[in-house]
């Protein structure tokens, strides 16, 4: 379907909220990190603590969290309560003899204790790492052994299922703090609870007792801006996940980018759907809204189209930060379902993590009356770098422009040399000028790999993109996923987006298959929308559609209709796995695969 190329924004109409950013270039020119630091109240430039900034600066009665249970009931947690509980936990950690810089992992389902554990850990000056609870024993053991934390907070259920069986391998853990949860809290398949399993597992510390015995008085630990604060694991889309280390100063970027890219205002109700086991879920699910004094929705349940729509409506969410996969799933469920849940409070929908097909941006406009604002960043960047902001027109399919304080470029590596490509429209690697406050400061245990990410004052992202004459960035593909066919470089995203324009296609993934003649040929895998049947005539239609849209050199030669695509646990399509399966190669590290 042919559409206009631009969604025009008229900042004077629509929502009554005046956006923070109305002129991106003026904001870039006037950027003053020191002034922003003062506005955030982030100390003297030498010292700051993310945990304190996030919990201690708001009126005590203001609502920090709206925790919504899997069955729909909701509870509010005030900033005052969060400040007190995190103080208690920070004091308790110091009481256990833990020192600033020690690592503490948090393996807890989304909910209030997860916030208390992560933020209290930061307040105590320890290094926090939230872990995704759906990981099985191996992915957990791998991540724990990379960082060798001194302490772990988990629930009794998760302890029994995941930690206890491998406890012998976790000798580095000096303290295991266990939250006495209700077995029924954990998702789908609760195992029967044996009476002997009730009560505290031996050699562990009870969370509630620990908190009750500690004072709620303010914590006085002074962390330096450059002290380590958080460990985030990458999604493992291209291989074994890496552990990226971030420092307290990252708070400045979380706060500023939440203003520029997500337009957070104190009166907003914000919902970030990412799990805190991923960087988005911590930077923007836990930290950024609290730094702004904004109420966030915390969903204890899992994705379900109907539940999510009801959540947006009932909680009167005004700013929603989600992922392309979730939007595609909603799209698959149908526009009518969305329209049956009008959300008049919703004023901004943003997305990150994967390429956002233009079709989804247009669909947002049709279904929610709002376009989807794509933005780009990585675990390594710690915060949003490139975004479609409220200030600018949207070119569907583009990731937007570099935010203030971010200098992005398209570069080409040749051996040791790096060439910055100024000419618009040329494909190359997306690079960022170093440093910025939330830049990662290391890959744990992989110093050489970290060093290799930098060249001549640039951080090299490993993603291919191009920038147009207006300064908008267009994602081409990950360097590893780009297909070379008959002398052309083909970005999978372009092909996938063209396929998604067909009304029968809900999701698409494209890979290169080795070919003796042309190097690689393009093969597509598609998932159909509900109501469409896979038959030869549909396949022929799809091939013809792709040829018309893309031309014969770029269009797939083969299209396979599949029931589903392999996704990482964080929802990304794993093209490398499709390729390995297609070619009968070993599948490599699949620990982050959904269902693994
Ligand atoms: P790994 O590094 O372990 O292979 P990963 O790169 O998927 O996993 P993340 O840091 O979670 O781990 O994801 C960042 C990557 O996600 C980016 O490098 C990019 O490839 C992709 N990405 C993020 N946002 C966008 C976007 N808006 N458009 C296209 N791709 C995006
Ligand atoms: Mg990556």
Residue 500: CATH number of its domain: 3.30.300.30
pLDDT at site 13: 47
Ligand closest to 440 (CA) is: 1
| Dist. CA 95–CA 212, nearest whole Å | 13
Distance from Cα 463 to the centre of ligand 2, integer Å:
8
pLDDT at site 71: 87
Is any ligand 1 atom within 6 A of the Cβ of residue 353? yes
Indicate which atom in ligand 1 lies nearest the CA of residue 280.
11
Number of structural domains found in the chain? 2
Tell me whether residue 44 is in a domain.
no
Examine the domain organization and report whether 249 and 367 are in the same domain: yes
Tell me whether residue 472 is in a domain.
no
Examine the domain organization and report whether 448 and 376 are in the same domain: yes
Q: Among the three residues 467, 491, 526, which one is the final residue of a domain in this structure? A: 467
Examine the domain organization and report whether 577 and 458 are in the same domain: no
Q: How does pLDDT run along the chain (596 residues), one tens digit per residue?
A: 556 688 887 655 467 888 999 999 999 999 999 999 999 999 888 999 999 999 999 999 999 999 999 988 999 999 999 999 999 999 999 999 999 999 999 999 999 999 999 999 999 999 999 999 988 888 899 899 999 999 999 999 999 999 999 999 999 999 999 999 865 444 334 444 443 445 788 899 999 999 999 999 999 999 999 999 999 999 888 878 899 999 999 999 999 999 999 999 999 999 999 999 999 999 999 999 999 999 999 999 999 999 999 999 999 999 999 999 999 999 989 899 999 999 999 999 999 999 999 999 999 999 999 999 999 999 999 999 999 999 899 999 999 999 999 999 999 998 889 999 999 999 999 999 999 999 999 999 999 999 999 999 999 999 999 999 999 999 999 988 889 888 888 989 989 999 999 999 999 999 999 998 889 999 999 999 988 998 989 999 999 999 998 988 899 999 999 999 999 877 889 998 999 999 888 777 666 665 44
Q: What is the pLDDT of residues 14-28, one digit of tens each?
A: 678 889 999 999 999
Spell out a b/e string for 250-286, using b for 16 or more CB atoms within 10 Å of the CB, else e: bbbbbbbbbbbbbbbbeebbbbbbbbbbbbbbbbbbb
pLDDT at site 352: 97
Substitution candidate for ligand 1 out of 230, 232, 237, 461 with most atoms within 8 A of CB: 237
Tell me whether residue 248 is in a domain.
yes
Examine the domain organization and report whether 439 and 488 are in the same domain: no
Examine the domain organization and report whether 489 and 463 are in the same domain: no
Is any ligand 1 atom within 6 A of the Cβ of residue 478? yes
Q: What is the CATH number of the domain that holds 232?
A: 3.40.50.12780
| Spacing of C-alpha 173 from chain mean position | 28
Examine the domain organization and report whether 495 and 458 are in the same domain: no
Indicate which atom in ligand 1 lies nearest the CA of residue 386.
27
Tell me whether residue 91 is in a domain.
yes
Ligand closest to 386 (CA) is: 1
Instruction: Enter the tokens of residue 417.
Output: 């040399």
Contact indicator for 146, 243 with CB cutoff of 8 Å: yes
| pTM for this entry | 0.92
The SS3 of residue 108 is coil
Is any ligand 1 atom within 6 A of the Cβ of residue 378? yes
Cα torsion angle, 455, 458, 463, 464, sign: negative
Tell me whether residue 301 is in a domain.
yes
Q: Among the three residues 467, 490, 507, which one is the final residue of a domain in this structure? A: 467
> What is the residue whose two structure tokens read 């960043």?
377
Examine the domain organization and report whether 424 and 485 are in the same domain: no
Ligand closest to 384 (CA) is: 1
Examine the domain organization and report whether 461 and 319 are in the same domain: yes
Distance from Cα 212 to the centre of ligand 1, integer Å:
41
Examine the domain organization and report whether 502 and 420 are in the same domain: no
| Dist. CA 149–CA 172, nearest whole Å | 7
What are the DSSP calls for 173-199, one per residue?
Answer: --EEEEE---GGGSSS-PPPPPGGGSS
Examine the domain organization and report whether 431 and 541 are in the same domain: no
Tell me whether residue 340 is in a domain.
yes
Contact indicator for 186, 92 with CB cutoff of 8 Å: no
Contact indicator for 380, 459 with CB cutoff of 8 Å: yes
Substitution candidate for ligand 1 out of 378, 387, 459, 510 with most atoms within 8 A of CB: 378
Substitution candidate for ligand 1 out of 463, 509, 566, 571 with most atoms within 8 A of CB: 463
506 Cβ partners below 8 Å, 6+ apart?
Answer: 328, 331, 332, 500, 526, 527, 528, 529, 530
Examine the domain organization and report whether 274 and 363 are in the same domain: yes
Examine the domain organization and report whether 404 and 499 are in the same domain: no
Is any ligand 1 atom within 6 A of the Cβ of residue 276? no
Which amino acid residue places its CA nearest to atom 31 of ligand 1? 354
Q: Among the three residues 426, 441, 467, which one is the final residue of a domain in this structure? A: 467
pLDDT at site 43: 82
Contact indicator for 375, 387 with CB cutoff of 8 Å: yes
Instruction: Enter the tokens of residue 507.
Output: 């999701």
Which amino acid residue places its CA nearest to atom 17 of ligand 1? 378
pLDDT at site 189: 40
pLDDT at site 295: 98
Tell me whether residue 303 is in a domain.
yes
Angle (CA) 301 305 310, round 5° = 75
Distance from Cα 233 to the centre of ligand 2, integer Å:
10
Instruction: Enter the tokens of residue 430.
Output: 């997306």
pLDDT at site 594: 58
Tell me whether residue 5 is in a domain.
no
State which residues form the domain around 97.
Answer: 50-467
């Amino acid at each position: 379907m042919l559409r206009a190329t631009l969604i025009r924004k008229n900042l004077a109409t629509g929502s009554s909220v005046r956006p923070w950013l109305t002129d991106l270039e003026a904001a870039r020119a006037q950027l003053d990190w020191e002034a922003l630091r003062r506005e955030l109240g982030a100390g003297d430039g030498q010292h700051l603590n993310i945990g304190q900034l996030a919990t201690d600066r708001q009126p005590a009665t203001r609502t920090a969290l709206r925790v919504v249970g899997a069955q729909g009931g909701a509870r509010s947690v005030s900033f005052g309560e969060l400040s007190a509980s995190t103080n208690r936990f920070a004091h308790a950690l110091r009481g256990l003899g833990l020192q600033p810089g020690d690592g503490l992992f948090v393996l807890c389902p989304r909910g209030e204790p997860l916030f208390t554990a992560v933020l209290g850990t930061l307040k105590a000056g320890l290094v926090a790492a939230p872990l995704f609870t759906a990981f099985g024993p191996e992915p957990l053991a791998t991540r724990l052994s990379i960082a060798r934390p001194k302490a772990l907070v988990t629930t009794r259920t998760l302890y029994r299922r995941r930690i206890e069986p491998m406890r012998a391998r976790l000798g580095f853990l000096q303290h295991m703090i266990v939250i006495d949860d209700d077995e029924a809290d954990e998702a789908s398949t609760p195992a029967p609870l044996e009476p002997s399993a009730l009560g505290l597992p031996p050699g562990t510390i009870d969370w509630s007792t620990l908190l009750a015995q500690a004072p709620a008085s303010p914590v006085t630990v002074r962390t330096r801006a450059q002290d380590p604060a958080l460990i985030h694991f990458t999604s493992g889309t291209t291989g074994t996940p890496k552990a990226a280390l971030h420092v307290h100063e990252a708070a400045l970027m979380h706060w500023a980018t939440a203003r520029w890219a997500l337009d957070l205002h104190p009166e907003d109700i914000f919902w970030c759907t990412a799990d805190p086991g991923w960087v988005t879920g911590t930077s923007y699910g836990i930290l950024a809204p609290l730094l702004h004094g904004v109420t966030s929705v915390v969903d204890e349940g899992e994705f379900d189209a109907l539940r999510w729509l009801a959540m947006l409506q009932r909680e009167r969410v005004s700013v929603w930060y989600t992922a392309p996969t979730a939007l595609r799933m909603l799209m698959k469920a149908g526009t009518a379902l969305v329209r049956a849940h009008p959300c008049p409070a919703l004023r901004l929908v943003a997305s990150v993590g994967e390429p956002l097909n233009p079709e989804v941006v247009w669909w947002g406009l049709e279904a929610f009356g709002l376009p989807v604002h794509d933005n780009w960043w990585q675990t390594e960047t710690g915060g949003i770098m490139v975004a479609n902001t409220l200030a600018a027109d949207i070119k569907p399919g583009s990731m937007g422009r570099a935010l203030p304080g971010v200098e992005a470029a398209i570069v080409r590596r040749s051996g040791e040399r790096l060439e910055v490509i100024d000419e618009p429209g040329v494909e190359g690697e997306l690079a960022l000028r170093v440093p910025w406050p939330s830049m990662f400061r290391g890959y744990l245990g992989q110093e050489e790999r970290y060093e290799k990410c930098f060249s001549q004052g640039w951080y090299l992202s490993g993603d291919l993109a191009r920038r147009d004459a207006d300064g908008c960035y267009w994602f081409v593909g990950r360097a590893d996923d780009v297909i070379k066919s008959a002398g052309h470089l083909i970005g999978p995203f372009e092909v996938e987006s063209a396929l998604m324009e067909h009304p029968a296609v809900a999701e698409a993934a494209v890979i290169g298959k080795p070919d003796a003649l042309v190097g690689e040929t393009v093969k597509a895998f598609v998932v159909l929308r509900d109501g469409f049947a896979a038959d030869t005539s549909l396949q022929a239609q799809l091939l013809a559609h792709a040829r018309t849209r893309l031309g014969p050199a770029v269009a797939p030669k083969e299209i396979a209709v599949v029931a589903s695509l392999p996704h990482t646990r964080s929802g990304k399509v794993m093209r490398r796995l499709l390729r390995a399966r297609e070619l009968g190669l070993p599948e490599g590290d699949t620990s982050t695969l959904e269902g693994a």
